Every structure is written in C-alpha cells, then in structure tokens.
C-alpha cells in the first residue's frame, strides 16, 4: 500500500491552491460557527430527539459545514496525486463549491428557523454540489489498478453519499407531509450513512495515504485494508437493513462487523505509527491518535444502545462521539495538510518548499488543540449529566480553539497570496 513515496512526482498534479483552500476556509469558518451556535442552543441539546430547529442545524453545521466541506477539499487534492490522474477540468472542481457552499449556508439557516422551503432549496443546492463531487471522484478512480483497499473505501463512500442524499431529501419532504411510516428509522439510516458510511470510510481510506506520508513510514499491508473495508461494508448493510425492518440482532451483528473493521484499521494505523522514521509528529498526531480512541468508543457505545442499555441522553452521547471522532481526526489532518500544501505551492528558489514556521505562528495550532479537546470533553460531560452551563463552557473553549485555527489559516492564505503576487 502507499507509503512515504506517495509524493513522488506530485507537484505536477497539485490543484490550483484556490480550489482546496476555498473548502478548507469555509470548513474552518463553519467550525467557528458550529461552536457559537452550540453555545446559543445548549439548552436544547440534551432533550433533542428529532425534528427541525437549532440542534438539527448545529448537527448539519458540523457534518455538512465542517466535515464534508473539509473532505471535499482534501479528496480532490489527494486522489489526483494518489491515482496519478490529474483532474482535467478544474472548473468542475470549482463548480462543486458554487453549488455546495451557498447550499450549506441556506440549509443550516433554514433548519435553524424551521423554514421548510428553505431546507428544500438548500438541499437542492447542496445535493447538486455533492453529486458533481461524486461524479468527479468516480471518474478519477474508474479503472485505477492497485491500491485496492483505498479504492474500495472510495467506492463505498460514494455509494453511501448517494444513499444519504436521497434519504436527506426524503426526510425534508416527509417532515412536511408525513407520508412515511417511520421517520425515525429514515433519520437513523441517514445519520449512519453520512457519518459512518460517507465520511468515516473516506477518512479511513485516506488514512492509508496520509498517515504514512506524515509519519515517513511504509504503508500497512494491503490485506489489512481489504479486510477492514470488507467488515465495514458488511456491517453497514446489516445495520441499515436491521434498523428498517426492526431486527435488533441484525443491527448488533452489523455493529460487530464494524467493530472488527475499525479494530483492523486502528491496528494498521498503529503499525504505521510504530514504524515511522519521523519520531516527533507534534500536536496534530495527538488529535489523530485521540480520534482513533473516540472512533472505537462510538462503535462500542452504539452496540450498547442497540442492545437496549442506553441511559437517558444515550442517543445524544452517541451522536457527539461519532461526530467528535471525525472532527478531531480532521482537525489533526488539517493542521498538517494546510501548511504542507502551502509550502508546496510557495516553493523557494530551486523548488525547495519553505518552512511552515515561516508562514504563520504555530502557537495558534496549540490553541486549536487545547480548545478543541477541552471543549469537546466539556460538551460530552455536560451531555452525560445534563449540565447546560458545562456545555456552554465547552462551546466557549471550542470556539477559542476554532478561532486559533482560523487565524492560522488566514496567515497561511495571506502568505500564499503574497508569494503568488511576487512570482507574477
């Protein structure tokens, strides 16, 4: 599997910086807005079960605004390098953002104020952008030989994306007209496909590229990735069928397969980490390693719920853990990929990339790590004990951490702009 030689000849397949950085910038802005909205809506968090309103909006700020936005930017750049197939039409990569970004602003605002027509319009724009993205990814990975495990993750994620888009629009229509017999089963399927299908599978698949690259380590054996994705796909199918035909044993069996797939993934990543040549990996890998623990906890907690042993607010804790693992993982990845791409695009004389410390104050990343971890921990604690003030305190800390990353990103973008101006 791909290892530290991933970057061989990558320079010619880099996208123009305006493409990935537009997604990263809007994703980090939504990261800030997410914490602010959580602070305002903390009273409603522990009592939320279904329906529109502020909490539904907050959830989608995290999933669509932060996670999917970041995943789109990273996927477009990473796949063109990994598959050695550069995107021929950069305008299509930009077109995704012209639909997706305004769509996210509209749909999250409409959800916040329970504006049904706005939700439909926002879903149309968002769905249009995601379908173009899906087409770009499928075109890029079509016919690729080798990297079977990574390609399988991409295919499964794209199928999950198409499924969650259909369910999402169906949920919005059903909320107004109520023609489906079980709205909750549809919503659960939508959440599972979004968080564990689309975003988690892409995060896992790209881990086989990113973690060896960042750690300067050989990639894990191909077989581990294949067994992992096989278990995860089997588990997802079992859970989705079980949820919709009310077979608890099938849901539990599906979670068992996912537990096995996650275990194999974490084992593979641990092997990469131990074999690394770069011994000091810094703050980003603190976030990444914590996220792996959170992923395992979220799967175990899901099994507890499927067995009928969740306490009050157990469903909210599950959503927080599932979204929290992805937020934590992607913040760690962003802390590495933002300065890395910036240095590649602003190479000094002789094509030597500039040091990231010359572009922005890296202490801002420390602020991000501390704020994110403290904020997420406080929110989970507040949910457990129904303490609104603790949730609000966590939102304040998370907001401070998010602002640290946003300011860092603005410094990087300013540096890129000034370099390209000098080069011109």
* 333 falls within a domain: yes
d(CA 107, CA 122): 4
DSSP characters over 356-385: GGGTS-THHHHHHHHHHHHHHHHHHHHHHH
8: pLDDT strictly greater than 80 = no
103-117, 248-262, 404-418: the lowest-pLDDT one:
404-418
pLDDT digits (tens, 9 = 90+) for 372-408: 999 999 999 999 999 999 999 999 999 999 999 999 9
Cβ-based neighbour number of residue 399 at 10 Å? 21
Segment of 3-7, 86-90, 360-364, 402-406 carrying the highest mean pLDDT: 402-406
Lowest mean pLDDT among 9-13, 80-84, 268-272, 337-341: 9-13
Average pLDDT over residues 345-373: 75
As a whole number of angstroms, the distance between CA 209 and CA 162 comes to: 24
Does residue 241 sit within a domain? Answer: yes
- Report the pLDDT value the prediction gives residue 259, as an integer from 0 to 100: 97
pLDDT of residue 349: 42
* Residue in 305, 295, 236, 297 with CA at minimum distance from that of residue 265: 295
Residue 351 has a CB neighbour count (10 Å cut-off) of: 8
CA distance 20 to 405: 16
Cβ burial of 20 (10 Å; 0-12, 13-18, 19+) is buried
Instruction: Decide if 72 is inside a domain.
Output: yes
Looking at the chain, the whole-number percentage of residues with pLDDT higher than 70 is 92
The CATH number of residue 214's host domain is: 1.20.210.10
The backbone torsions φ and ψ at residue 391, rounded to the nearest 5 degrees and listed phi first, read: -60, -45
Query: Which of helix, strand or coil describes residue 352?
Result: coil
- Residue-wise over 229-260: b if at least 16 C-beta within 10 A, else e? bbbbbbbbebbbebbeeeeeebbbbbbbbbbb
Mean pLDDT along residues 118-132: 96
Q: What is the pLDDT of residue 181?
A: 86
* Rounded Cα distance, 235 and 255, in Å: 6
14-18, 80-84, 295-299, range with greatest mean pLDDT: 295-299
Q: What is the pLDDT of residue 88?
A: 72
Q: What is the CA radius of gyration of the chain?
A: 21
DSSP code at position 30? H
Residue 281's pLDDT is what?
A: 84
Residue 3 lies in a domain: no
Report the C-alpha gap between 77 and 59 in whole angstroms.
26
Question: Which pLDDT belongs to residue 419?
Answer: 65
User: What is the per-residue pLDDT for 347?
Assistant: 63
Q: Would residue 348 count as lying in a domain? A: yes
Cα separation, 133 vs 130, in Å, equals 5
Q: What average pLDDT does the segment 2-13 reach?
A: 55
- Mean of all residue pLDDT scores within the chain: 90
Point out the least confidently predicted range of 192-196, 200-204, 231-235, 348-352: 348-352
Band of residue 424 on the pLDDT scale cut at 50, 70, 90:
very low
pLDDT above 80 for 197: yes
Query: How many domains, the chain?
Result: 1
What is the rounded distance in angstroms from the CA atom of residue 264 to the CA atom of residue 267?
5
Question: Is residue 1 in a domain?
Answer: no
pLDDT surpassing 50 at residue 31: yes
CB 33 within 8 A of CB 61: yes
Q: Phi and psi at residue 344, in whole multiples of 5°?
A: -65, -35
Confidence of residue 56 (pLDDT cuts 50, 70, 90): very high
Range of the domain at 129: 8-423
Task: Give tens-digit pLDDT for 207-216.
Answer: 999 999 888 8
Structural domain contains residue 392? yes
Percentage of residues in the chain having pLDDT higher than 90: 70
Q: pLDDT at position 354, please?
A: 58
| pLDDT attached to residue 350 | 47
**2 in a structural domain:** no
């Amino acid at each position: 599997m791909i290892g530290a030689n991933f970057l061989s000849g990558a320079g010619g397949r880099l996208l123009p910086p305006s493409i990935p950085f537009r997604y990263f910038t809007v994703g980090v802005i939504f990261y800030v807005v997410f914490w602010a909205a959580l602070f305002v809506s903390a009273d409603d968090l522990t009592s939320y079960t279904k329906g529109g309103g502020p909490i539904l909006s907050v959830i989608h700020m995290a999933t669509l605004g932060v996670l999917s936005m970041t995943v789109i930017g990273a996927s477009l750049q990473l796949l063109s390098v990994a598959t050695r197939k550069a995107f021929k039409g950069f305008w299509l990569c930009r077109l995704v953002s012209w639909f997706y970004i305004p769509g996210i602003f509209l749909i999250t605002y409409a959800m916040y104020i329970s504006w049904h027509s706005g939700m439909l319009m926002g879903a149309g724009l968002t769905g249009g952008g995601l379908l173009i993205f899906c087409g770009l990814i499928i075109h890029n990975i079509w016919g690729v030989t080798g990297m079977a495990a990574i390609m399988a993750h991409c295919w499964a994620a794209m199928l999950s994306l198409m499924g969650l888009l259909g369910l999402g629009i169906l949920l919005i229509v059903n909320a107004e007209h109520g023609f489906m017999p079980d709205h909750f089963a549809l919503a659960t399927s939508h959440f599972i496909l979004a968080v564990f299908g689309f975003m988690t599978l892409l995060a896992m698949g790209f881990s086989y590229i990113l973690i060896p690259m960042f750690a300067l380590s050989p990639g894990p054996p191909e077989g581990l990735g294949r067994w992992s994705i096989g278990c995860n796909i089997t588990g997802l199918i079992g859970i989705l069928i079980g949820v919709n035909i009310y077979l608890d044993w099938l849901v539990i069996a599906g979670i068992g397969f996912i537990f096995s797939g996650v275990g194999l993934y974490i084992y593979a990543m641990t092997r990469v980490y131990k074999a690394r040549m770069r011994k000091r990996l810094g703050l980003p890998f603190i976030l990444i390693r914590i996220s792996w623990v959170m992923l395992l906890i979220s799967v175990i907690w899901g099994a507890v719920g499927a067995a009928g042993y969740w306490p009050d607010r157990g469903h909210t804790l599950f959503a927080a853990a599932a979204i929290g693992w992805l937020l934590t993982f992607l913040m760690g990845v962003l802390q590495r990929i933002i300065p890395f791409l910036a240095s590649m695009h602003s190479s000094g004389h002789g094509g030597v990339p500039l040091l990231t410390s010359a572009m922005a104050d890296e202490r801002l990343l420390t602020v991000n790590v501390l704020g994110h971890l403290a904020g997420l921990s406080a929110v989970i604690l507040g949910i457990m004990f129904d303490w609104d003030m603790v949730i609000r305190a966590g939102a304040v800390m998370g907001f401070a951490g998010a602002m640290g990353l946003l300011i860092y990103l603005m410094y990087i973008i300013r540096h890129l702009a000034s370099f390209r101006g000098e080069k011109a």
